[in-house]
Amino acid sequence: MNLGERLLKGDRRACARLITMLENNDDQAINILKDLYKHSGNAYVIGITGAPGSGKSTLTDKIAKEFRKKGKKVGILAIDPTSPFTGGAILGDRIRMNDLTLDKNVFIRSMGTRGSLGGMSRATWGAVKVLDIFGMDYIFIETVGVGQSEVDIVKIADTVLMVMVPNLGDDIQAIKAGIMEIADVFAINKSDLDGADRTKLEIEMNLDLSDQKEYRPPVVKVSARQSENIGELVDKLMEHRKYLEDTGKIVERRKKNIRLEIMKLAEEEFMRLIMNKALGENLLEDLVNNVVLKEMDPYTAKDRLIELIKE
């Protein structure tokens, strides 16, 4: 039985191996996904994002358990940063989810970003398809701890949960562009700490200024560690899903993301072609040296690279 058939039958090792192959750019895995793509589309994807240490992993663990109580199968992709210097990584999100490890209806996979900057890894898109075909009802993607502009999660998730904590900044932070704009639901975690009400108020005031009247992202105070208000948070996530489905916006959202994914894949392939050629013939090194010596400028160097691909 090949990997694809094993995946369809719910074989965990096949699921794990396919994700590894996608991470390693193995064409065989892509071919399997080409064959099985028609089996995907059943899973609902929830992105969980927020600053480092805001409690994303602990909250993901608690939310996943709520969905398990409802009898749903849950896949979790937990992303942590890869070192730009060594390529190594410490993937430490699982440490908060150990209780889920033995549940046969949960599959958790840790992934390094491997050079991607948007808060996820390049293989995340493929890994979501693998978990979807594997039969998961809900897939949670926990991004790396984000700053202000790592917003790629919105390009893959149906619902984005933004995890905030009290006292990280004033009301100016709440009106900045970027990460604050992508949330469909806000959770204020560690809300037993002072300042939680103020943080909620600042987010609410920012939402008051939005033109979007049809759906207003709810702001829920929770404590992941103490399992407080997790049920209410899950209700809000489900309400967002219902809103998208009732209005047909889910189709729009997914279509927009498919367009982005195709463009991203083409862009990656294009870069790979250029870089293989440039590195293969040592051209890049020559260009860099020329620019260093001021014998060439970086713009002309770029033109030379592009000429290569046209040949």
Partner 1 sequence: MDRPIRVLVAKPGLDGHDRGAKVIARALRDAGMEVIYTGLRQTPEQIVQAAIQEDVDVVAMSILSGAHNHLFPKVVNLLREEGVDDVLVIGGGVIPDEDMPGLKEAGIEEIFTPGTSTKEVVEFIKNNLKR
* Spatial separation of the C-alpha atoms in residues 49 and 117, rounded to whole Å: 14
Please state the closest distance from residue 96 (CB atom) to partner 1, in A.
9
Residue placing its CB nearer to partner 1 in the complex, 23 or 66? 23
* Spatial separation of the C-alpha atoms in residues 82 and 98, rounded to whole Å: 22
Residue placing its CB nearer to partner 1 in the complex, 20 or 40? 20
Please state the closest distance from residue 20 (CB atom) to partner 1, in A.
4
Please state the closest distance from residue 26 (CB atom) to partner 1, in A.
7
Report whether 18 contacts 7 (CB < 8 A): yes
Please state the closest distance from residue 114 (CB atom) to partner 1, in A.
8
Nearest to 119 by CA among 73, 172, 163: 163
* Spatial separation of the C-alpha atoms in residues 137 and 102, rounded to whole Å: 18
Please state the closest distance from residue 116 (CB atom) to partner 1, in A.
14
Nearest to 189 by CA among 157, 161, 148, 149: 161
- Cα→Cα distances 190→53, 80, 85, Å: 11, 21, 33
Nearest to 143 by CA among 48, 71, 28: 48
- Cα→Cα distances 119→92, 93, 145, 146, 156, Å: 15, 14, 7, 6, 12
Residue with tokens 């890894």: 121
Strand partners, 82: 89
Residue placing its CB nearer to partner 1 in the complex, 8 or 89? 89
Residue with tokens 């982005």: 260
Residue placing its CB nearer to partner 1 in the complex, 23 or 158? 23
Residue with tokens 């870089």: 275
Residue placing its CB nearer to partner 1 in the complex, 20 or 206? 20
Please state the closest distance from residue 280 (CB atom) to partner 1, in A.
15
Residues in contact with partner 1 by CB under 8 A are 12-13, 16-17, 19-20, 23-24, 26, 82-83, 86-92, 94-95, 98, 101-102, 107-110, 112, 114
Please state the closest distance from residue 9 (CB atom) to partner 1, in A.
15
- Cα→Cα distances 11→31, 51, 137, 154, 155, Å: 18, 34, 16, 29, 28
Residue placing its CB nearer to partner 1 in the complex, 121 or 191? 121
Residue placing its CB nearer to partner 1 in the complex, 102 or 306? 102
